[in-house]
């Protein structure tokens, strides 16, 4: 079994979910008392959030790269970044490590395409929805990507950083998210990506008839499969 190097803490709520899903996935595959081999480097999210607000992606990227390098030195066989937004740092991280980074957008796109969808909505942080680094990765796989309007992006982003990252789940915010999901469907989306690892804490598949793709679960499952693969 390969050792997973998990970059976490962004936020710790979603990292806790990753930890559970990774261990559940390994146990389901191998049975018995098996669990995942995980090395966790948990960053201080306040520091990362400040760099995000200042659009200082270079400093943030080198910070994550330093932690990824330490995970490699500690024995990690590949890197899992436990956040959608900070996959913006992948190019910098890949410059300083010799082990693979399992990209969340690639894993998600593969699952969506396998399910037969071509056009997807995307909700997440403002950075994920409005910058190109994430959408281009999905588009490179052949998907068409739709995002909410400016009002929707602002509201979705605010809920993530002002509520979900603190572990707060509010019914009003869930209803707003469901409305934004419906609006994406009206624009032509066949499904919607929950492109922030905290969103699954708020909106689950049973809350809507629209097909949702939970990037946290998809990413964790891809990591389980990679950890158990040969070569």
The answer to whether residue 196 is catalytic is yes
Of residues 153, 165, 191, 196, which has the active-site annotation? 196
- Give CA–CA dist 13/198, Å, rounded: 7
- What residues pair up with 101 in beta bridges, in sequence order? 79
The answer to whether residue 85 is catalytic is no
3 state SS of 124? strand
Task: Label residue 59 left, alpha or beta by phi (over 0 means left) and psi (-120 to 50 means alpha).
Answer: alpha
Of residues 83, 125, 215, 216, which has the active-site annotation? 83
Residues 6+ apart with CB under 8 A from 134: 84, 87, 88, 105, 122, 124, 128, 195
Q: If we measure between CA atoms, which residue out of 76, 83, 17, 78 comes closest to residue 48?
A: 83
- Give CA–CA dist 158/140, Å, rounded: 29
The helix (H) or strand (E) run that includes residue 15 is helix 12-30
Q: What residues are labeled active site?
A: 83, 196
């Amino acid at each position: 079994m390969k050792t997973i190097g998990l970059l976490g803490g962004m936020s710790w709520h979603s990292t806790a979910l990753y930890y559970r899903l990774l261990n559940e996935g390994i146990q389901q595959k191998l049975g018995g008392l098996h669990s995942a081999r995980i090395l966790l480097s948990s960053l201080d999210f306040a520091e990362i959030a400040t760099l995000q607000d200042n659009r200082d992606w270079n400093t943030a990227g080198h910070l994550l790269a330093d932690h990824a390098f330490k995970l490699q030195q500690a024995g990690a066989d590949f890197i899992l970044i436990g956040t959608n937004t900070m996959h913006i740092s992948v190019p910098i991280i890949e410059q300083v490590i010799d082990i693979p980074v399992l990209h969340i957008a690639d894993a998600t796109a593969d699952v969506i395409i396998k399910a037969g969808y071509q056009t997807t909505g995307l909700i997440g942080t403002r950075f994920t929805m409005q910058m190109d680094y994430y959408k281009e990765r999905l588009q490179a796989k052949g998907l068409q990507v739709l995002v909410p309007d400016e009002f929707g992006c602002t509201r979705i982003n605010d809920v993530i950083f002002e509520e979900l990252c603190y572990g707060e789940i509010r019914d009003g915010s869930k209803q707003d998210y469901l409305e934004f999901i419906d609006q994406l469907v009206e624009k032509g989306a066949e499904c919607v990506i929950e492109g922030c690892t905290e969103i699954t804490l708020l909106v689950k598949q049973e809350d809507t008839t629209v097909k949702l793709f939970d990037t946290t679960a998809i990413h964790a499952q891809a990591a389980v499969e990679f950890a158990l693969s040969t070569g």
